[in-house]
Amino acid sequence: MKTTFTVIPLLLIPKALSIKNKHLRLKKPNGLSIIELIIVIILFLILVPTSLVIFVGARKIIGQSYIQHQAAVTLGENNDILRYMRNMNFDLIVNGTFYLIRNPGTGNWLVKSDLPTMDVFERRIAVSNALRHTDTHNLYMPGDAGDSYEDPDTKKIEINVIWAPDYIPLDLLTHTLYVANWQKAIVYPST
Protein backbone atom coordinates (compact mmCIF):
# COMPACT_ATOMS: atom_id res chain seq x y z
CA MET A 1 0.00 0.00 0.00
CA LYS A 2 1.26 3.29 -0.91
CA THR A 3 0.95 6.23 1.52
CA THR A 4 0.25 9.68 0.25
CA PHE A 5 1.07 12.76 2.19
CA THR A 6 -0.86 15.88 1.67
CA VAL A 7 1.06 19.05 2.35
CA ILE A 8 -1.00 21.81 3.79
CA PRO A 9 0.70 25.13 3.43
CA LEU A 10 1.62 26.61 6.83
CA LEU A 11 0.13 29.94 5.94
CA LEU A 12 -3.37 28.52 5.87
CA ILE A 13 -3.27 27.05 9.40
CA PRO A 14 -3.81 30.28 11.37
CA LYS A 15 -6.66 31.24 9.07
CA ALA A 16 -8.26 27.87 9.53
CA LEU A 17 -7.95 28.11 13.33
CA SER A 18 -9.55 31.54 13.38
CA ILE A 19 -12.46 30.32 11.27
CA LYS A 20 -12.87 27.32 13.53
CA ASN A 21 -12.83 29.41 16.78
CA LYS A 22 -14.84 32.32 15.43
CA HIS A 23 -17.94 31.37 17.34
CA LEU A 24 -15.98 31.37 20.68
CA ARG A 25 -15.03 35.08 20.52
CA LEU A 26 -17.04 37.58 22.57
CA LYS A 27 -18.59 40.41 20.68
CA LYS A 28 -17.54 43.93 21.76
CA PRO A 29 -20.24 46.55 21.97
CA ASN A 30 -19.73 49.67 19.91
CA GLY A 31 -20.75 52.22 22.64
CA LEU A 32 -20.55 52.80 26.40
CA SER A 33 -22.35 50.37 28.57
CA ILE A 34 -24.63 51.57 31.39
CA ILE A 35 -22.11 50.41 34.03
CA GLU A 36 -19.30 52.41 32.45
CA LEU A 37 -21.53 55.46 32.23
CA ILE A 38 -22.51 55.18 35.93
CA ILE A 39 -18.83 54.85 36.94
CA VAL A 40 -17.89 57.98 34.97
CA ILE A 41 -20.77 59.97 36.52
CA ILE A 42 -19.81 58.86 40.07
CA LEU A 43 -16.15 59.79 39.51
CA PHE A 44 -17.21 63.16 38.12
CA LEU A 45 -19.48 63.81 41.12
CA ILE A 46 -16.64 62.97 43.53
CA LEU A 47 -13.69 64.69 41.82
CA VAL A 48 -15.21 68.00 40.70
CA PRO A 49 -16.54 69.18 44.11
CA THR A 50 -13.35 67.98 45.81
CA SER A 51 -11.24 69.94 43.34
CA LEU A 52 -13.36 73.05 43.86
CA VAL A 53 -13.05 72.80 47.67
CA ILE A 54 -9.27 72.44 47.39
CA PHE A 55 -9.05 75.41 45.01
CA VAL A 56 -11.21 77.69 47.17
CA GLY A 57 -9.35 76.64 50.35
CA ALA A 58 -5.99 77.34 48.75
CA ARG A 59 -7.12 80.82 47.69
CA LYS A 60 -8.34 81.53 51.23
CA ILE A 61 -5.03 80.38 52.73
CA ILE A 62 -3.09 82.59 50.33
CA GLY A 63 -5.27 85.56 51.29
CA GLN A 64 -4.82 84.93 55.01
CA SER A 65 -1.05 84.55 54.67
CA TYR A 66 -0.97 87.92 52.87
CA ILE A 67 -2.88 89.54 55.75
CA GLN A 68 -0.55 87.94 58.31
CA HIS A 69 2.45 89.25 56.36
CA GLN A 70 0.91 92.74 56.34
CA ALA A 71 0.38 92.47 60.12
CA ALA A 72 4.08 91.61 60.58
CA VAL A 73 5.04 94.61 58.44
CA THR A 74 2.70 96.77 60.54
CA LEU A 75 4.39 95.52 63.71
CA GLY A 76 7.78 96.47 62.26
CA GLU A 77 6.44 99.94 61.40
CA ASN A 78 5.30 100.38 64.99
CA ASN A 79 8.79 99.47 66.27
CA ASP A 80 10.38 101.97 63.89
CA ILE A 81 7.95 104.75 64.83
CA LEU A 82 8.53 104.24 68.56
CA ARG A 83 12.32 104.26 68.11
CA TYR A 84 11.99 107.43 66.05
CA MET A 85 9.92 109.02 68.84
CA ARG A 86 12.57 107.97 71.37
CA ASN A 87 15.32 109.51 69.26
CA MET A 88 13.39 112.78 68.77
CA ASN A 89 12.47 113.25 72.40
CA PHE A 90 12.18 110.50 74.99
CA ASP A 91 9.49 112.50 76.79
CA LEU A 92 7.13 111.85 73.83
CA ILE A 93 6.80 108.26 75.05
CA VAL A 94 4.42 108.58 78.00
CA ASN A 95 2.80 105.86 80.07
CA GLY A 96 -0.67 104.70 78.99
CA THR A 97 -2.48 102.86 76.23
CA PHE A 98 -2.50 104.43 72.79
CA TYR A 99 -3.50 103.61 69.23
CA LEU A 100 -1.27 104.39 66.29
CA ILE A 101 -2.98 105.30 63.02
CA ARG A 102 -1.90 106.74 59.70
CA ASN A 103 -3.52 110.05 58.77
CA PRO A 104 -5.22 109.34 55.43
CA GLY A 105 -4.82 112.94 54.25
CA THR A 106 -1.10 113.42 54.84
CA GLY A 107 0.21 109.90 55.42
CA ASN A 108 1.73 111.01 58.75
CA TRP A 109 1.36 108.90 61.86
CA LEU A 110 -0.99 109.94 64.65
CA VAL A 111 -1.00 108.73 68.24
CA LYS A 112 -4.55 108.68 69.62
CA SER A 113 -5.88 107.76 73.03
CA ASP A 114 -9.23 106.50 71.70
CA LEU A 115 -9.84 103.52 69.46
CA PRO A 116 -9.57 104.52 65.79
CA THR A 117 -11.64 102.92 63.04
CA MET A 118 -9.57 104.09 60.09
CA ASP A 119 -7.38 101.07 59.38
CA VAL A 120 -7.56 97.31 58.76
CA PHE A 121 -5.32 96.67 61.75
CA GLU A 122 -5.82 97.88 65.30
CA ARG A 123 -2.39 98.95 66.60
CA ARG A 124 -2.60 99.05 70.39
CA ILE A 125 0.47 100.29 72.26
CA ALA A 126 0.72 99.99 76.05
CA VAL A 127 3.59 101.96 77.59
CA SER A 128 4.81 101.58 81.16
CA ASN A 129 8.00 102.14 83.11
CA ALA A 130 10.25 99.11 82.96
CA LEU A 131 11.12 97.26 86.12
CA ARG A 132 14.73 96.60 87.12
CA HIS A 133 16.25 94.25 89.69
CA THR A 134 17.27 96.16 92.80
CA ASP A 135 20.60 94.38 93.22
CA THR A 136 21.81 93.99 89.58
CA HIS A 137 19.87 96.78 87.79
CA ASN A 138 19.10 94.32 84.97
CA LEU A 139 15.66 94.40 83.40
CA TYR A 140 13.07 92.61 85.47
CA MET A 141 11.34 90.13 83.13
CA PRO A 142 8.01 88.39 83.73
CA GLY A 143 8.60 85.42 86.02
CA ASP A 144 11.67 86.92 87.71
CA ALA A 145 11.84 86.87 91.49
CA GLY A 146 13.32 89.36 93.89
CA ASP A 147 12.99 93.04 94.63
CA SER A 148 12.50 95.51 91.79
CA TYR A 149 12.04 99.19 91.16
CA GLU A 150 10.53 101.26 88.34
CA ASP A 151 12.99 102.90 85.99
CA PRO A 152 11.44 106.06 84.46
CA ASP A 153 14.23 106.23 81.87
CA THR A 154 13.43 102.78 80.45
CA LYS A 155 10.02 102.11 78.93
CA LYS A 156 8.39 98.74 78.44
CA ILE A 157 6.22 98.93 75.33
CA GLU A 158 3.79 96.17 74.48
CA ILE A 159 2.62 96.36 70.87
CA ASN A 160 -0.48 94.43 69.78
CA VAL A 161 -1.59 94.29 66.16
CA ILE A 162 -5.14 92.95 66.01
CA TRP A 163 -7.24 92.20 62.93
CA ALA A 164 -10.39 90.25 62.11
CA PRO A 165 -9.76 87.49 59.55
CA ASP A 166 -12.57 85.59 57.82
CA TYR A 167 -12.28 82.28 59.63
CA ILE A 168 -11.86 83.18 63.32
CA PRO A 169 -13.11 86.07 65.48
CA LEU A 170 -9.76 87.87 66.02
CA ASP A 171 -6.11 87.33 65.28
CA LEU A 172 -3.27 88.88 67.25
CA LEU A 173 0.40 89.59 66.71
CA THR A 174 2.23 90.86 69.79
CA HIS A 175 5.69 92.17 70.57
CA THR A 176 7.37 93.63 73.66
CA LEU A 177 9.94 96.35 73.17
CA TYR A 178 12.16 98.05 75.75
CA VAL A 179 13.53 101.50 74.96
CA ALA A 180 15.88 103.52 77.11
CA ASN A 181 16.57 107.21 77.20
CA TRP A 182 19.96 107.04 75.55
CA GLN A 183 20.39 110.83 75.69
CA LYS A 184 20.47 110.85 79.48
CA ALA A 185 23.20 109.47 81.66
CA ILE A 186 21.75 106.56 83.59
CA VAL A 187 22.37 106.67 87.29
CA TYR A 188 21.19 103.66 89.20
CA PRO A 189 19.98 104.10 92.76
CA SER A 190 22.34 102.76 95.36
CA THR A 191 21.32 99.62 97.17
**Overall number of domains in the chain:** 1
What CA–CA distances, in Å, run from 108 to 83, 112, 119? 16, 13, 14
Residue 140 lies in a domain: yes
Residue 148 lies in a domain: yes
What is the pLDDT, as a whole number, of residue 168? 61
What is the pLDDT, as a whole number, of residue 42? 92
Residue 131 lies in a domain: yes
Instruction: Note down the domain range covering 112.
Output: 34-180
Backbone dihedral region of 137: left (phi > 0), alpha (psi from -120 to 50 degrees) or beta? left
d(C-alpha 142, C-alpha 66), whole Å? 32
Residue 13 lies in a domain: no
What is the pLDDT, as a whole number, of residue 115? 67
What is the pLDDT, as a whole number, of residue 2? 60
CA atoms within 13 A on the CB side of 65: 6
Q: Which residue numbers in the chain have pLDDT < 50? A: none
Stated as kind and residue range, the H or E segment containing 110 is strand 109-112
Residue 28 lies in a domain: no
What is the pLDDT, as a whole number, of residue 182? 78
